[in-house]
Amino acid sequence: MARRTPAQTHDEYPDEEYMTTIPRVELEVPEDIRRRWEERGDPIVKYPAEVLRQTAKPVEKPTAATRELVERMKSAMIVARGVGLAAPQMGVSERVIIYQLPEEGAPLRVIINPRIISMKGEQVGPEGCLSIPMLQGDVRRAHEIVVRGIDMLGRPIKRRACEFEARVIQHEVDHLDGILFMDRAEAGTLYWHLPGDSEEEEDAALHE
Ligand SMILES: [Zn+2]
């Protein structure tokens, strides 16, 4: 069993500094959690790095540097055993996301300048984030979305996604606007999960 520690939150960021009206939740990261983050040894930027709260810039035209960034994102995501990653989590404030659903043979998808153009329905489920390891909370998301963007060659992409895939995309697109999942978490559902003898419980939630 993992030990559950309620997450302490305090003052919200002032609204006017940010593009959207989602209140930013600030977290107190317990000392032992921070020590465990340091022991993980993955290259992913951890909370409260400022880049995670910035609005990322669009990519004008994918270049060799974009491809190199995507390669670094892929290997970081694999090392951290995540399902999705956004460029700000590598310290790069650009609008690039990748994800790979945890299903046999699922392709790794790259969306540059993603824009969610439609949202339908609702789902509530547990989320976690590779930039805030061991924190979990329930987040309400649209059940079905349509996302547009471009691929690595600059060609337009449009993808309809629902359920888990829709949740992953919404979580990653939020990263590009400096929004973290705890900003949207349902009241009273944010907990630190310290892995105990088994890591199964930590792995139960989505890691992005
Ligand atoms: Zn995340």
Task: Supply the pLDDT for residue 41.
Answer: 84
What fold does the segment set 3-207 form as a domain? Answer: Peptide Deformylase (3.90.45)
Task: Supply the pLDDT for residue 198.
Answer: 52
| Residue 103 appears among annotated catalytic residues | no
Q: Is 154 exposed, middle or buried (0-12, 13-18, 19+ CB in 10 A)?
A: middle
CA of 95 to the centre of ligand 1 (A): 14
Task: Supply the pLDDT for residue 206.
Answer: 66
Task: Supply the pLDDT for residue 142.
Answer: 97
CA of 127 to the centre of ligand 1 (A): 9
For 159, the token pair is 């993808």
CA of 120 to the centre of ligand 1 (A): 22
Task: Supply the pLDDT for residue 4.
Answer: 67
Task: Supply the pLDDT for residue 6.
Answer: 73
CA distances from 6 to 28, 148, 171 (A): 11, 37, 22
Task: Supply the pLDDT for residue 197.
Answer: 46
26 close to 13: Cβ distance less than 8 angstroms: yes
For 73, the token pair is 């994102």
175 close to 52: Cβ distance less than 8 angstroms: yes
Task: Supply the pLDDT for residue 11.
Answer: 44
pTM recorded for the entire structure: 0.88
CA of 65 to the centre of ligand 1 (A): 23
Catalytic one of 38, 172, 200, 202: 172
Distance CA 11, CA 129 (A): 21
Residues with CB under 5 A from ligand 1 (ion): 129, 208
Task: Supply the pLDDT for residue 22.
Answer: 86
Task: Supply the pLDDT for residue 120.
Answer: 97
134 close to 150: Cβ distance less than 8 angstroms: no
CA of 4 to the centre of ligand 1 (A): 20
pLDDT by residue, tens only, the chain of 208 residues: 455 677 766 544 444 444 457 889 999 999 999 999 999 889 999 999 999 999 999 999 999 999 999 999 999 999 999 999 999 999 999 999 999 999 999 999 999 999 999 999 999 999 999 999 999 999 999 999 999 999 999 999 999 999 999 999 999 999 999 999 999 999 999 999 987 745 554 455 667 7
136: left (phi over 0), alpha (psi -120 to 50) or beta: beta
> Domain limits of the chain?
3-207
